[in-house]
Amino acid sequence: MATVQVSEAEKVYILHGIRDDLRVDGRGCEDYRHTEIETDVVSNTDGSAKVTLGHTAVLVGIKADLGKPKPMLPKEGYLEFFVDCSANATPEFEGRGGEELGTELSNTLYKVFNNKHSVDLKSLCISPGEHCWVLYVDVLLLQCDGNLYDAISIAIKAALFSTKIPKVHISADEEGAKEIELSDDPYDCMRLNVENVPCIVTLCKVGHRHVVDATLQEKACSVASLIISVTQKGTVTCMRKVGGGSLDPESIFEMTEAGKRVGKALHAPLMDLLQQEERLGTKRQKVGFLG
């Protein structure tokens, strides 16, 4: 992961700030940085979103393809995740340098999103045991400035929201062989229900307190962090401790409570924003990277 060098004096300054609920950039401990979200930025995907969180920039593209349901879950489609830590983010990722981080991130994403409680996987099933939609969720890391999990999860939720899957028609002949035909009407498509899609909140233990949305500098002062995925109702669906240091059970409990609170509060404005954007319809001026 991209790292920054922080001197001892800086560390002390940061620690003291956090203790007083005043972070280096002026935020409180449970505040996010300035966040920008735009959906539908890559036109040849079925759904996409670009999210910037401070200097962290993430682009998510979703492509739907036909596949066969997993034998254990014949009535569900599934999601595939791939995180590309590109060299654009930092030269350290050049060649195979980003692979380790990419795998770590994508494994977490599988756990958080690829289950029927988070995403309505049943709606992705076309014919049980034979055909289903597979959503390839590809995450592209463009710039790292800490708090990747949160940025990625927001981007994924936004991208899933904007995903349009073409409607299909199944025709079967006498022998029962099924043939899938795609609807030729570009407006005839299926949307996903993203109500239960969780967002990830990362809490960094800095000194005795914890902060959300840590910058790289703050991260450098932290021993360990906890990632929690929270749905809009405030249900925790997944929790994970990451980082080298150790946490005591009390602070985990404390951090979970904080995470739930922050996470729950995160969903409403996000959905608001997405729906607002949706309402603009085709008149929306796309900004992408040009803005």
Q: How far is the CB of 221 from another protein (least distance, A)?
A: 19
Residues 114-153 that bind another protein (CB under 8 A): 136, 138, 140, 142-145
**Residue 62 interacting with another protein (CB under 8 A):** yes
**Residue 191 interacting with another protein (CB under 8 A):** no
Please select the residue that binds another protein; options are 14, 64, 155, 194, rule is CB under 8 A: 64
Please select the residue that binds another protein; options are 37, 57, 101, 132, rule is CB under 8 A: 57
**Residue 290 interacting with another protein (CB under 8 A):** yes
In whole angstroms, what is the distance from residue 49 CA to residue 101 CA?
21
Residues 76-95 that bind another protein (CB under 8 A): 82, 84, 86-91, 94-95
The closest alpha carbon to 228, from 191, 194, 189, 266, belongs to: 266
In whole angstroms, what is the distance from residue 203 CA to residue 147 CA?
9
**Residue 184 interacting with another protein (CB under 8 A):** yes
Contact region for another protein (CB under 8 A) — 23-31, 64-72, 113-121, 253-261? 64-72
The secondary structure element, H or E, covering residue 19 is helix 8-19
Task: State which residue, 65 or 272, has the beta carbon closest to another protein.
Answer: 65
**Residue 196 interacting with another protein (CB under 8 A):** no
Task: State which residue, 20 or 185, has the beta carbon closest to another protein.
Answer: 185
Task: State which residue, 166 or 207, has the beta carbon closest to another protein.
Answer: 166
x-or-dash string of contact with another protein, 209-238, rule CB under 8 A: ------------------------------
In whole angstroms, what is the distance from residue 35 CA to residue 219 CA?
19
**Residue 36 interacting with another protein (CB under 8 A):** no
**Residue 13 interacting with another protein (CB under 8 A):** no
**Residue 248 interacting with another protein (CB under 8 A):** no
Task: State which residue, 7 or 44, has the beta carbon closest to another protein.
Answer: 44
* Residue 268 phi, psi dihedral angles, 5° rounding: -60, -55
Task: State which residue, 9 or 290, has the beta carbon closest to another protein.
Answer: 290
Q: What is the dihedral sign for C-alpha 171, 67, 141, 234?
A: positive
Max CA distance (Å), the chain: 78
In whole angstroms, what is the distance from residue 160 CA to residue 61 CA?
9
The amino acid that residue 33 corresponds to is R
Decide: 37 and 49 in contact? Cβ < 8 Å.
Answer: yes
Q: How many amino acids of this chain bind another protein (CB under 8 A)?
A: 50
Q: Tell me the DSSP string of 73-127.
A: -TT--EEEEEEEE-TTT-GGGTTTTTHHHHHHHHHHHHHHHSSTTTS-GGGGEEE
Pairing of the two strands 131-143 and 78-85: parallel
In whole angstroms, what is the distance from residue 186 CA to residue 196 CA?
27
Q: Which residues contribute to the site for another protein (CB under 8 A)? A: 42-46, 48, 55, 57, 59, 61-66, 82, 84, 86-91, 94-96, 136, 138, 140, 142-145, 166, 171, 173-175, 177, 179, 181-182, 184-187, 288-291
